[in-house]
Each structure stands twice: as C-alpha cells, then as structure tokens.
Amino acid sequence: MGSEIDGTLDSHYNRSHSFAGQLIKSDRIFSDHKLVSICVGGVSNSFIVRNTLLWFDKNYDPDTTEVFVIVGWADSSRWESPVLDISDMKDDNPCAEWIAKENDDYLGISLVWTHPDREEFPEQGSIQKTYHEFITSFPEHMELISLNLALQLQWFFSSKQIPYIMTDTLYNVNSENPFVKPYINMIDQNRYINFGKPRDAFYYKYESMGYSNDDSKYYHHGEKAHLHYSQILEEHILKHNLL
C-alpha cells in the first residue's frame, strides 16, 4: 500500500505510487486496468487471505470484470485473534477502496506492537501475551501457516482462472526451513516471485541496496524503491507470461 511514501501511513498518493500502483500503470502490461487497493497496514497474512477471498465473494463477477491480482505477503510472525467488534479497520486505512467488515472482529497480533491505545481492555493484553509466547517459541510453525495461506490463495486463483502474482514484503517463509521443504514443489514459483528467499523480500532487498526514505517514521521505503520493484515485477510477468 506504499505506507509513508509521502510521510503519512495512508494516502491515495501512497497507494498509487506503491509498487502495485506503479505496476498497474505499465502500458506494456495493462492498457485499461485500474488500481483497486484493498491493502491494510500492519496486518497478518491470514488477514490478507480473508480480505482477498471476501472481496472476490462480494464484488467479483467474471462475466463483467477482468482482474490481475498482486499479493504482497507480510511477516509470518504477525497473527490475529478473533474478538468480536474490536475495531474499525477503515479508521486507520481511510484510502483503502474496500475492507471486509468481518475484519473488524479480529485483534491484530504483532511482536512490535501491543495496542497501548486499548489499555482499558486488559484482556486484550493477555491475549497478545499468549500469542507472543507462541510466536517467539515456534517461528517455524508460523512459516508453515503462511505457506499454507499462500497455497490457499494459489489454489483459489487457479480454480477461478484468475491471473496473479505474489511477492513477500517482509520475512515470510524460508525455503531452508526443514518443515517447509516438503511443500516447495507445490508452490507455483512462476507466480510467487523469490519464494522462500527472505533477503529478496521487498523491504530487506532495498534496505540492503541502501535505499532510504527521509519521510518515514516506521522505516517504510520511498517512491524510488517502489518504482524499481514495480519494474522487476513487470519483467517477471512478461517473461513468464502471467497475464
């Protein structure tokens, strides 16, 4: 979604200048597509799958709509817990074109965030502590969960004949994980660019290349990194005929 490209966490400018937003402007690939950005900041991979599936369930008509899906996976250490009516995701993501209302019934779990704005709900702190202990104790299991979520979307898209590409934005799945290896051949690696290579994930790739964003408070990359990565995705899509 291009968080902090312009210094804000969410804006129409950020979304249109994210690598997905830049890619959709490619005349070499897309002549009449428009960006429909349903990305939400700081969420888990399970959130990404649910929001994507619900968008297709509620909005997609294959007879009238042609789509190409760009999936940017998050960090596999992120998780969530079902808690009814916990938040309004639209409040923090005002420029998202669509967010399933069902997502408001989940408490996001992140190792670097403990929701200090919800101190009046101490039970939420207990929920997060429980998940934090599990996530830090069993990181290989978290990778397996994310791998299966990727397979879930892959097989959904394949069953509907929907063209797509997947990429990692943060550390997600490492192909050297011995519990991941039995599943590697199941992943369509033409459509999942750099699968299992954490150092090639968008954030780490451009951090190692020295890209920086002076407008960023939370270390998100700037417009140049997004533009460069959109060009990599464009070449990959054309090379493997993914449309």
The residue count for the chain? 243
Question: Is residue 193 in some structural domain?
Answer: yes
Question: Is residue 1 in some structural domain?
Answer: no
Question: Is residue 91 in some structural domain?
Answer: yes
Q: In this prediction, what percent of the chain has a pLDDT beyond 90?
A: 80
In the chain, how many domains are there?
1
Kindly report which listed range (90-94, 118-122, 134-138, 149-153) carries the lowest average pLDDT score: 118-122
The pair of structure tokens assigned to 67 is 């789509």
pLDDT bin (cut points 50, 70, 90) of residue 87 is confident
Helix ranges (H only) for the chain are 12-16, 19-23, 45-59, 89-92, 122-137, 139-160, 202-208, 223-239
> Which residue segment(s) compose the domain that 212 sits in?
12-239
How many other CB atoms are there within 10 angstroms of residue 195's CB atom? 22
Strands 69-73 and 164-168: parallel
**Closest to 182 (Cα-Cα) out of 151, 158, 137, 136:** 151
**Residues 6 or more apart from 223 whose CB is under 8 A from it?**
2, 5, 17
**DSSP per position, 112-148:** TB--GGGTT-HHHHHHHHHHHHHHHH-HHHHHHHHHH
Question: Is residue 7 in some structural domain?
Answer: no
Question: Is residue 5 in some structural domain?
Answer: no
113-125 pLDDT tens trace: 666 556 666 677 7
43-67 pLDDT tens trace: 999 999 999 999 999 999 999 999 9
